[in-house]
């Protein structure tokens, strides 16, 4: 039989040369296919980011990169040294933007655009940048994998990079044009250069005597690779200044590897020389770019070159120390002992002599790799740690995570046994992988870095398996592989890649599907779009507000400063920090707060301010206009906005305040339920008094108490008396009850003992006064609940509240739920009037919002007359003169305009059966409201007989809050049943669930009239 096989083998052609050729090039088509797949899944949905012919981006930071790239296109190759178009009223310079990444994108845009690219071309280049850069990461990943696991190992590493549905994929799809993909590319290039430099150091073994003898021929390679490693580190930090992290990783590596080399009987000098060269070059590169002497990681500060030079000096010192100890023939354990002792001593001296600097380093370690997070950092999505680390990492890497851990274990074992040839390089990769894992578990954003260490460790593991099942040459020569070896390796490869390729459950999505999920602009930016477009075209140019004549150059070159000197006509636009870059880039106005979290506390203090006087103090600046516009979207004003509603409490620093001072969960528990569930959220009076509620919900108008009662059981209270939680009434009792008048409502509350007036929907517990200096000037076309076109993001929450409270849509929200509402802070028009003595005068004006359904609302304010019948008001809404003022005169093109003059009236009084009230009408000119014309508006009220009885006194707050027929018609087939014994209306709701019904405030009639609040 054996002879027959030999004869058959002789007849068959010799495939050896063919296998040799295949062995030499097989990896090339595989790598090209994997790279092509990476690029394809990242760019195939790029049209999702074209809306109405305009390029959009995912997230916030990409928009600021667009501004930076456009600046570089205009001033190539210079980047923006300082930007006064954000962080009002100081301006800012943020080192993470205007970096090498922006310069590269701008350079490509200039090439594509023939030297003068349009803004659309520049935006398209930025759109595709993360996909292209993310694909390029495959090159250094393959090289590192090949270095430790052979060609086949390198291919497997790239396969993991291509197939993992991880953070790296989501951060490198087209449209997510932040700097994250560039960070990964330049870090991996730097790691690869460091690994090569270390390998050359171990092979060439440079020593001090070669410098003395000027042996440049033998020093050329170690020094050359040291220089290249240093340049690679510089490029990484130029792309992302906090990349100083890699210098820290390098330093930790040196503190570990040099003592190990000494203990092994090897000279630490070889690695130390190359490392000192790399860190010196890095320090010189950092010196070229540093622009501040402050201690900062995020800016190009003096800290960067200081750390690099300190590392280089440390390498020289440890080399010198090794020679001294060896010359004295001291025990080798003295070397790590002295180094450790000096390190601890240095830390103690810094802690005593420079406590602030010591605290800075400790906080940075905790924040990046020390599993520590501050309360405010936990409000930033990418900075939070993964909630379930194991699930988070397995969801990203599947079984490749397990094999990566196995690869690391084999690395450590072979190092311990002295079987690794490139000891320094392997140890560096291990330390890099460990620290990037710690960083990922501290801030989940760093998971986009972790994918490459996982890929490299898997490459090493596959290479070791291939070596174990075959000969020592099997890793590099396909001709040496036997069938069982191929099957064994194939099994390992499938174990690693198959779970990544096929996905599976809802939490295990294949890369292509995951990329599809991440490729979209989201509803938020499209919801804001019309408001930002209005802001750019209907507000005065920066520097011209109020008649100023120093218009600011949007792409001007401004010198770096800690406090920019704004011209008198410059002003700020206040919103939550998430929206700052949109305001800068799309609205072309200056936000106070931005996604750098600058002035986040100021924004929180304003939005949660308990009164208008405190809000005005926050909005004003010592010089200039201060904040002139406030943009509030539904997410900031409604609990359904989730983090956007709750996060400002974390940033609030204007006194003690928690979210439970604002809202209270009202729970219900049905039979068979083990745990109670939240039926709806009730509100404390503090909620209604915050600026965000008074602006978004009431448009600055006064709101009276209404005979609506919230009934609850088993209340739990905070130390300040606020309600912490409660349960809905037992049985069939409704939690929300209406009464015919306030006295009946108060009587019920007094007798019940665990009920209160208001605190649900748009009904406050107490009267909320009008705002005198804030007016609604624009509302976006988009409705958060939805319209006939379909439900919006607020729809589900609104539907639940309709069902659990029985309130209709208007009672829940009071005014239309436009996505964004823009308000202007104005001086207000002074009204001086004459009426009956010691009485209440109410001024009301109907305003029209030019949205889809042309909705109207009423603004109401009250004032008291003195003994002589005199009263004064400050009114923020004008009724005439809109055409006389506009952006060309430093004023606002107001979109929300009055339908007629103000009506002034007093409560109805009755004498001898004759009912009367004092009334008047008056127009308020726009010039008076914005403080551009002198004089006051005079109003003289006259007495008028009325037919209504005194009990119908609507201004006193005794009108019904909405009966079953009128109020519920707008709610969408809601019905009410009357409880005759209690005198209250218990509300049970049914709804047809249509988005158009829930969006009833867009019905085109005055909101308050529909619910009968104003009589």
Question: Which of these ranges, 4-18, 52-66, 217-231, 480-494, has the smallest mean pLDDT?
Answer: 4-18
Same domain, 306 and 247: yes
Give the 3-state secondary structure of residue 661.
helix
Q: What is the pLDDT of residue 274?
A: 96
% of the chain exceeding 70 in pLDDT: 86
One domain for residues 166 and 116:
no
Q: Are residues 350 and 485 in the same domain?
A: yes
Rounded distance between C-alpha atoms, residue 226 and residue 206, angstroms:
12
Of 489, 515, 541, the last residue of a domain is: 515
- Tell me which residue range forms the domain holding 841: 829-1010
Average pLDDT over residues 70-78: 94
Taking only the tens place, the pLDDT of each residue in 588-613 is: 999 999 999 999 999 999 999 999 99
Of the candidates 72, 175, 188, the residue with the CA atom closest to the CA atom of residue 433: 188
Q: What distance in Å separates the CA atoms of residue 563 and residue 93, rounded to the nearest whole number?
A: 11
* Cβ atoms of 926 and 905 closer than 8 Å: no
Q: What mean pLDDT is predicted for residues 245-255?
A: 95
Q: Residue 23 to residues 139, 150, 804, 962: CA-CA distances in angstroms?
A: 19, 12, 70, 82
Q: Quickly state the pLDDT bin for 289 (edges 50, 70, 90).
A: confident
Q: Where a domain ends, among 132, 166, 189?
A: 132
Q: Are residues 470 and 499 in the same domain?
A: yes
Q: Is the pLDDT of residue 320 over 80?
A: yes
Q: What is the mean pLDDT of residues 304-322?
A: 94
Residue 773 belongs to some domain of the structure: no
Position 17 confidence tier, pLDDT thresholds 50, 70, 90: low
Q: pTM, whole model, 2 decimals? A: 0.87
Nearest of 491, 823, 362, 449 to residue 636 by alpha carbon: 823
pLDDT in tens, 634-655: 999 999 888 899 999 999 999 8
Q: Does residue 850 surpass a pLDDT of 70? A: yes
Instruction: Work out the mean pLDDT of the chain and round it to a whole number.
Output: 85
Give 789 or 476, the one with higher predicted confidence. Answer: 789
- Percent of residues, the chain, with pLDDT higher than 90: 57
pLDDT in tens, 103-149: 999 999 999 999 999 999 999 999 999 999 999 999 999 999 999 99
Contact 131, 43 (CB under 8 A): yes
528 vs 60: CA distance, rounded Å: 12
pLDDT value of position 10: 57
Whether the Cβ atoms of residue 738 and residue 985 lie closer than 8 Å to each other: yes
Averaging pLDDT over each range in 109-113, 624-628, 947-951, which range is the top one?
109-113
- Supply the DSSP string of 929-983, one letter for each residue: HTT-S-S-EEEE-EEEE--S-GGG-GGGT-S-S--TTHHHHTTSS-EEEEETTTT
CB 871 within 8 A of CB 833: yes
Looking up residue 941, the CATH number of its domain turns out to be 2.60.40.3390
Measured at the alpha carbon of residue 528, what is the angle toward residues 522 and 533, in degrees to the nearest 5? 130
Structural domain count of the chain: 3
pLDDT for res 16: 58
DSSP letter at 610 equals S
Is 60 exceeded by the pLDDT of residue 508?
no
Q: Residue 742: is the preceding peptide bond cis (ω within 30°)?
A: no
Domain end: 115, 132, 149, which one? Answer: 132
* Three-state DSSP string of 434-455: HHHHHHHHHCHHHHHHHHHHHH
Within a domain: 219: yes
Contact 155, 203 (CB under 8 A): no
101, part of any domain: yes
In a domain, 419, yes or no: yes
Q: How many CA atoms lie within 13 A of 811 on its CB side?
A: 35
Three-point CA angle 210, 214, 217, nearest 5°:
80
Q: Are 226 and 278 in contact (CB under 8 A)?
A: yes
Looking from the CA of 213 toward its CB, the CA atoms found within 13 Å total 9
What DSSP character marks residue 506? T
Q: Does the residue 705 lie in any domain?
A: no
Residue 623 lies in a domain: no
Judged on CB neighbours under 10 Å (0-12, 13-18, 19+), 512 is middle
Q: Do 391 and 283 share a structural domain? A: yes
Q: What is the pLDDT of residue 800?
A: 85
Question: E strands, 456-524, where?
Answer: none
Phi-psi region of 551 (alpha: psi -120 to 50; beta: other; left: phi over 0): beta
Answer yes or no: is 545 within a domain. no
CA distance 916 to 341: 92
Asked whether residue 869 falls in the same domain as residue 971, the answer is yes
Tell me which residue of 899, 897, 901, 892 sits closest to 924, measured CA to CA. Answer: 901
Same domain? For 225 and 169 the reply is yes
Is there a domain that residue 352 lies in? Answer: yes
Which residues lie below 8 Å from residue 544, measured CB to CB, with a gap of 6+? Answer: 550, 551, 569, 887, 890
pLDDT over 60 (residue 1014): no
Banded pLDDT at 206 (limits 50, 70, 90): very high
Which of 48-62, 127-141, 693-707 is the least confident region? 48-62
For residue 52, the model assigns a pLDDT of 83
**Displacement of CA 244 from its chain's centroid (Å):** 23
For residues 872 and 915, state if they share a domain: yes
- Are residues 425 and 297 part of one domain? yes
Which pair of structure tokens corresponds to residue 936? 């006051």
Instruction: Read off the pLDDT of residues 762-812 as tens digits, 9 standing for 90 and up.
Output: 999 999 999 999 999 999 988 888 765 667 788 888 888 888 888 888 889
Minimal CA–CA distance to 759: which of 661, 618, 892? Answer: 661
pLDDT at 474: 46
Q: Are residues 427 and 278 in the same domain?
A: yes
Q: Are residues 127 and 141 in the same domain?
A: no
392 lies in the same domain as 370: yes
Q: According to the model, what pLDDT value does residue 3 have?
A: 60
């Amino acid at each position: 039989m054996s002879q027959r096989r030999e004869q058959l083998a002789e007849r068959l052609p010799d495939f050896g040369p063919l296998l040799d050729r295949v062995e030499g090039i097989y990896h090339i088509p595989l790598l090209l296919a994997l790279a092509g797949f990476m690029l394809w899944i990242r760019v195939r949905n790029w049209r999702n980011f074209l809306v109405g012919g305009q390029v959009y981006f995912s997230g916030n930071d990409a928009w600021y990169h667009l501004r930076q790239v456009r600046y570089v296109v205009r001033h190539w190759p210079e980047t923006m040294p300082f930007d006064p178009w954000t962080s009002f009223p100081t301006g800012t310079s943020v080192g993470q933007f205007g970096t090498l990444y922006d310069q590269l994108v701008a350079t490509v845009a200039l090439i594509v655009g023939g030297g003068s690219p349009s803004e659309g071309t520049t935006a398209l280049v930025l759109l595709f940048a993360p996909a292209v850069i993310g694909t390029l990461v495959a090159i250094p990943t393959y090289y590192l994998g090949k270095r430790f696991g052979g060609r086949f190992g390198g291919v497997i590493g790239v396969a993991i990079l291509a197939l993992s549905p991880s953070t790296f994929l989501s951060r490198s799809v087209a449209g997510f044009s932040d700097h994250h993909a560039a960070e990964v590319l330049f870090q991996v290039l730097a790691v690869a250069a460091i690994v090569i430099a270390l390998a050359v150091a171990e092979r060439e073994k440079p020593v001090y005597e070669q410098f003395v003898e000027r042996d440049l021929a033998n020093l050329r390679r170690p020094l050359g690779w040291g220089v290249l490693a240093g340049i690679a580190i510089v490029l990484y930090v130029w792309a992302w200044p906090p990349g100083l992290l890699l210098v820290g990783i390098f330093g930790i590596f040196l503190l570990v590897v040099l003592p190990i080399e000494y203990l092994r009987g090897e000279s630490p000098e070889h690695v130390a020389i190359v490392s000192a060269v790399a860190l010196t070059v890095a320090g010189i590169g950092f010196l070229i770019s540093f622009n501040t002497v402050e201690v900062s990681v995020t800016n190009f500060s003096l800290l960067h070159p200081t750390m690099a030079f300190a590392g280089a000096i440390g390498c020289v010192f440890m080399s010198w120390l090794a020679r001294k100890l060896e010359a004295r023939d001291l025990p080798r354990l003295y070397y790590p002992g002295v180094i450790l002792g000096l390190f601890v001593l240095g830390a103690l001296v810094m802690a005593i002599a420079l406590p602030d600097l010591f605290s800075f380093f400790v906080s940075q370690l905790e924040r990046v790799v020390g599993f520590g997070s501050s309360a405010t950092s936990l409000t930033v999505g990418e900075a939070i740690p993964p909630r379930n680390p194991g699930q988070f990492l397995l969801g990203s890497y599947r079984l490749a995570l397990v094999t990566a851990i196995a690869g690391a274990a084999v690395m450590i074992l072979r190092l311990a046994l002295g079987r690794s040839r490139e000891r320094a390089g392997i140890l560096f990769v291990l330390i890099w992988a460990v620290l990037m894992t710690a960083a990922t578990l501290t801030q989940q954003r760093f998971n986009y870095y972790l994918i490459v260490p996982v890929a490299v460790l898997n490459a090493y593991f596959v290479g070791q398996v291939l070596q174990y099942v075959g000969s020592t040459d099997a890793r590099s020569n396909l001709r040496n592989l036997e069938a069982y070896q191929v099957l064994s390796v194939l099994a390992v490869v499938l174990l690693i890649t198959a779970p990544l390729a096929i996905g599976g459950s809802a939490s295990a999505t294949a890369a292509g599907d995951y990329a599809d999920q991440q490729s979209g602009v989201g509803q938020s930016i499209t919801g804001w779009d019309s408001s930002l477009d209005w802001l750019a075209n209907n507000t005065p140019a920066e520097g011209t507000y109020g008649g100023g004549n120093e218009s600011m150059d949007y792409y001007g070159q401004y010198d770096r400063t800690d406090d920019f000197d704004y011209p008198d006509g410059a002003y700020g636009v206040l919103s939550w920090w998430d929206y700052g870059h949109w305001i800068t880039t799309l609205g072309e106005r200056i936000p106070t707060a931005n996604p750098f979290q600058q002035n986040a506390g100021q924004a929180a203090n304003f939005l949660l301010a308990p009164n208008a006087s405190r809000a005005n103090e926050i909005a004003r600046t010592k010089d200039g206009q201060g904040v002139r516009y406030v943009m509030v979207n539904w997410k900031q004003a409604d609990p359904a906005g989730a983090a956007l509603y709750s996060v400002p409490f974390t940033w609030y620093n204007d006194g003690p305040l928690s979210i439970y001072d604002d809202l209270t969960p009202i729970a219900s528990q049905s039979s068979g339920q083990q745990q109670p569930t939240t039926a709806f959220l009730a509100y404390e009076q503090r909620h209604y008094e915050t600026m965000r509620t008074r602006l978004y919900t009431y448009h600055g108008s006064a709101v009276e108490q209404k005979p609506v009662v919230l009934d609850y059981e088993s209340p739990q209270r905070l130390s300040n008396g606020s309600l912490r939680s409660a349960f809905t009434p037992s049985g069939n009792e409704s939690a929300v009850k209406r009464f015919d008048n306030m006295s009946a409502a108060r009587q019920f509350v007094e007798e019940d003992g665990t009920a209160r007036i208001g605190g649900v929907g748009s009904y406050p517990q107490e009267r909320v006064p009008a705002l005198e200096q804030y007016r609604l000037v624009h509302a976006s076309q988009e409705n958060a609940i939805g319209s006939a076109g379909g439900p919006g993001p607020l729809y589900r929450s609104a539907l639940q509240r309709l069902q659990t409270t029985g309130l209709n849509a208007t009672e829940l929200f009071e005014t239309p739920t436009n996505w964004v509402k823009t308000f202007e802070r104005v001086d207000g028009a002074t009204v001086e009037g004459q009426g009956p003595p010691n009485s209440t005068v109410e001024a009301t004006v109907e305003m029209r919002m030019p949205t889809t359904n042309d909705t109207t609302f009423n603004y109401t304010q009250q004032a008291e007359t003195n003994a002589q019948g005199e009263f004064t008001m400050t009114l923020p809404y004008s009724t005439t003169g809109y055409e006389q003022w506009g952006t060309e005169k430093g004023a606002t093109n107001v979109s929300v305009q009055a339908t007629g003059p103000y009506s002034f009236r007093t409560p109805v009084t009755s004498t001898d059966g004759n009912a009367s009230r004092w009334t008047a009408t008056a127009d308020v000119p726009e010039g008076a409201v914005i403080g551009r014309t002198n004089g006051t508006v005079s109003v003289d009220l006259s007495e008028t007989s009325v037919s209504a009885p005194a009990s119908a006194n609507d201004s006193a707050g005794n009108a019904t809050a909405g009966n079953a027929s009128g109020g519920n018609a707008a709610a969408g087939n809601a019905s009410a049943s009357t409880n005759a014994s209690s005198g209250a209306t218990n509300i049970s709701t049914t709804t047809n669930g249509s988005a158009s019904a829930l969006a009833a405030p867009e019905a085109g009639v005055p909101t308050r009239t529909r619910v009968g609040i104003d009589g």
